[in-house]
């Protein structure tokens, strides 16, 4: 959506400036507006979206595919006449993203490891900045997805209290063993990736846009809509722990493993309709943002 609205180059430039201690009013305003809008959307819609994804996964994933594919014509237009470098970059990033989508779910979580936690934070920062990159896939591939989720739950329990027990400093300090390395990685990633991407858009625009194009297309692979949640059995691994029968039965539906299935005719038709709806929504935003791109310049770097 940042791409479609025509503010993605400004967003990347703003992050790069702030992380190099250049605090221009326009850059700060860009980050504040985008950040505040994101927080507002999370507060207002997170609960509804969570329920819809859990209960109507095929419908929401179909919509997400359309929203994602809507960015493809925009990136293609920004790239202009295709070159060999664009095709190669698009192919490589598509393959990498597809592999993450296909094998990520099958990688079991490992124990928390400080160097890997820093790397996981860096990967998470990259996912914040690069459109189409799934932070979850990257963390799963590093085996740090479950340890990080566990640390977040631990921190939440320490701050809010477990079973009404009030603030627990011991739990908070225990969670810091994971939170601090991840935070360091995030800071390094934001500084490095934002400045690198800004430089690439300025000096290797077609190759960079080709890579972004491949990321968008590859992200769709991980959004196959026809998956159903299956009640886990004893022996299922969740957040690094092997569950017994009682624990598996008590696991919330959103944490159940997914299994592909063959859709009905109605679901297939509905999926196509929702895909087109998401695609249309992105294109409408793209059209609304065309005025901004005309003022700032047609290239990805805003030149």
- Residue-wise pLDDT for 154-191, tens only, equals 787 777 765 556 677 888 888 888 889 988 988 888 78
- Quick one: which of 174, 185, 72 has its CA closest to 132? 72
Secondary structure element (H or E) that encloses residue 238, with its range:
strand 237-238
On the question of pLDDT at 279 being above 70, the answer is yes
Percent of the chain with pLDDT over 90: 9
On the question of pLDDT at 264 being above 80, the answer is yes
On the question of pLDDT at 103 being above 70, the answer is no
* 132 CA to centre of own chain: 7
pLDDT at 104: 53
Q: Of 12-16, 99-103, 297-301, which range is least confident?
A: 297-301
pLDDT at 302: 43
For CA atoms 16, 212, 122, 40, give the dihedral sign: positive
pLDDT at 277: 93
> Residue 217, exposed/middle/buried by CB under 10 A (0-12, 13-18, 19+)?
buried
Q: Of 86-90, 138-142, 221-225, 285-289, which range is least confident?
A: 138-142
pLDDT at 91: 93
**Tens digits of residue pLDDT in 19-46:** 778 888 888 998 899 888 877 876 677 6
On the question of pLDDT at 290 being above 80, the answer is no
Label residue 301 by pLDDT band (50, 70, 90).
very low
pTM (whole model) above 0.75: no
Average pLDDT, the chain: 78
Residue 258 · residue 134 · CB < 8 Å: no
pLDDT at 303: 37
d(CA 30, CA 299): 19
pLDDT at 158: 79
Residue 117 · residue 182 · CB < 8 Å: yes
On the question of pLDDT at 107 being above 50, the answer is no
d(CA 5, CA 15): 17
Label residue 92 by pLDDT band (50, 70, 90).
very high
Tokens at 105, concatenated: 């779910």
Residue 181 · residue 117 · CB < 8 Å: yes
- Quick one: which of 222, 193, 216, 220 has its CA closest to 93? 216
pLDDT at 199: 85
């Amino acid at each position: 959506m940042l791409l479609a609205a025509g503010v993605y180059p400004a967003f990347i430039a703003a992050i790069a400036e702030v992380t190099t201690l250049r605090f221009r009013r326009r850059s700060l305003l860009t980050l504040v507006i985008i950040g505040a809008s994101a927080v507002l959307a999370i507060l207002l819609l997170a609960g509804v979206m969570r329920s819809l994804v859990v209960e109507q996964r095929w419908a929401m994933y179909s919509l997400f595919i359309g929203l994602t594919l809507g960015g493809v014509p925009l990136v293609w237009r920004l790239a202009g006449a295709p070159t060999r470098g664009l095709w190669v970059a698009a192919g490589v990033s598509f393959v990498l993203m597809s592999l993450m989508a296909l094998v990520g779910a099958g990688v079991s979580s490992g124990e928390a490891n400080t160097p890997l936690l820093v790397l996981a934070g860096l990967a998470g920062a990259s996912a914040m900045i690069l459109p189409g990159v799934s932070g979850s896939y990257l963390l799963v591939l590093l085996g740090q997805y479950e340890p990080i989720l566990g640390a977040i739950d631990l921190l939440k329990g320490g701050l809010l209290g477990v079973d009404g027990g009030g603030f627990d400093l011991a739990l908070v300090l225990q969670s810091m063993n994971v939170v601090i390395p991840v935070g360091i990685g995030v800071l390094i990633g934001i500084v490095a990736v934002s400045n690198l991407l800004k430089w690439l858009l300025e000096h290797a625009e077609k190759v960079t846009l080709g890579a972004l194009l491949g990321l968008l297309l590859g992200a769709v692979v991980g959004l196959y809509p026809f998956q159903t949640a299956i009640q886990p059995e004893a022996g299922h691994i969740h957040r690094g722990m092997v569950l017994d029968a009682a624990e598996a039965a008590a696991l919330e539906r959103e944490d159940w493993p997914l299994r592909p299935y063959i859709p009905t005719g109605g679901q297939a038709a509905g999926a196509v309709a929702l895909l087109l709806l998401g695609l249309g929504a992105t294109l409408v935003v793209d059209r609304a943002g065309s005025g901004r791109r005309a003022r700032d310049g047609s290239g990805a770097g805003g030149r």
